[in-house]
Amino acid sequence: MAYQSINPNDGKLLKSFEPLSPTQLDKALAAAETCFQSWKQQSYAQRAAVVKKAAALLHAHVDDFARLATLEMGKRIDEARGEVKFSGDILAYYAEHAESFLAPAQLHPGIGAAHMESSPLGVLFCVEPWNFPYYQLARVAGPQLMAGNVLVVKHAGCVPQCAIAFEQLLLDAGAPVGAYTNLLISHEQADRVIDDPRVKGVALTGSVGAGRSVAARAGQNLKKSTMELGGSDAFIVLDDADLDQVIPWAVWGRMYNVGQTCCAAKRFIVLDAVADEFLARFKAALQALKPGDPMDEQTTLGPLSTEGALLQLLARVDAAVKAGATLRLGGQRIDRPGWFMQPTILTDIAPGNPAFREEFFGPVVSFFRVKSEEEAIALANDSDFGLGGSVWTKDAARGLRVASRVDAGMLFVNNLDWDHAELPFGGIKHSGYGRELGRMGIQEFVNKKLVRSGHLAAPV
């Protein structure tokens, strides 16, 4: 597996890195296991001092971290700054709340006393993707380091400098060597890490294919895992929706991070009464986006992360059209250096079309016109994925009613505001299992031990 920084804005190679040798990998795992034996003994206050310092360093050096993300994966600079700030917020959140989240919970048996207490599992192996090169790391590092676990992390091959920078961030914050270790390793080496008895749990964010492979390997080793996989989130526009509010959210929901977001709005399901107006206004808003250097704050359309991602997306759009979909906008590579694609709208997507079930990880809109609220709910649920979704209506009670019937891990009514550390993140079906962030996120990799006390008579 290659670890290379290539600027998506112009396709130029910035830097290459060699993967770890088998000996280097074993030393890293040994250091992590040694560190765990002392890190788990630290008090919450001692661990919080490190994690809180890392948060402060992120907040103090937003531009430095943001520029690196823009260089490596093409994220527009204002979005990159937002990601860095949010990553710092996540670390600060767990530094403040971890102790209360993991405090012993009292139980009340009929006789004697009992409680549940939480303890860390050990070394965790995390496999993370490129689309949010800091946020994906912060949302495992914050809770799990505060829980007393230590992490070894395989980041994506196209963001090695971001991966190295995050490891250095924690070292600069005072984390001991082995608490958080970046691993430049191959897929084959990743399998060996999962097999290693020193590793006690596995967390992955990535594609369905990667999830199947890693979850199977973890299962063979009887190791706890969490999977945050793809999504094909429904954006349900009911007939009483306020389009002045909806259209800006539709653009943001589909085009944030150039659409390279698991929980992006991907399937736009619109009731007939407003479908024509919605489509016309949405199309005009997408056409107004201007491609350019993602370092330029005036740019509104950045590049995709890699040429491979661009070519795959173009091929999927072509396949959708050949299978009967109508191309209403875009569908082509933009004629300029770098990996830019036109915002694209597909309509008339029949159930037999591969586009009906696929996830488009980029600036491609799948538009569906429906006749009723019931049909909208049925179409939203006719998906292999179940990550998130949203409902748009002036009637808040109606929105909540529809949201409760959509099969997904996260539903939003009249907003798509998922970027808060206290909100649990995760899905169902092919979108994976387990939750990150919030109170739930720190519970995934701790032993919940029952302790019961009392002088009870033995059964006769």
CA distances from 57 to 178, 190, 225 (A): 20, 30, 30
397 contacts: CB under 8 Å, gap ≥ 6: none
Beta strands 199-205 and 113-120 are unpaired
Locate all alpha helices (DSSP H) within 270-306, ordered by sequence: 272-287
Which entry of 35, 262, 359, 436 is annotated as an active-site residue? Answer: 262
Pairing of strands 326-329, 344-347: antiparallel
Q: Write the DSSP symbol of residue 348.
A: -
Catalytic residue check, 79? no
CA distances to 109, 234, 276 from 90, rounded to whole Å, are 36, 27, 41
From 83, 128, 228, 359, active-site residue: 228
- Angle (CA) 125 129 132, round 5°: 120
Question: 262 catalytic, yes or no?
Answer: yes
- Helix, strand and coil percent figures for the chain, each rounded to 5: 40, 20, 35
Helices and strands (DSSP H and E) totals, the chain: 14, 20
Q: How many CB atoms lie within 10 A of CB 189?
A: 17
User: Within 10 Å of residue 387's Cβ, how many Cβ atoms?
Assistant: 27
Tokens in use for 5?
């920084």
Report, as residue numbers or ranges, the catalytic residues.
228, 262
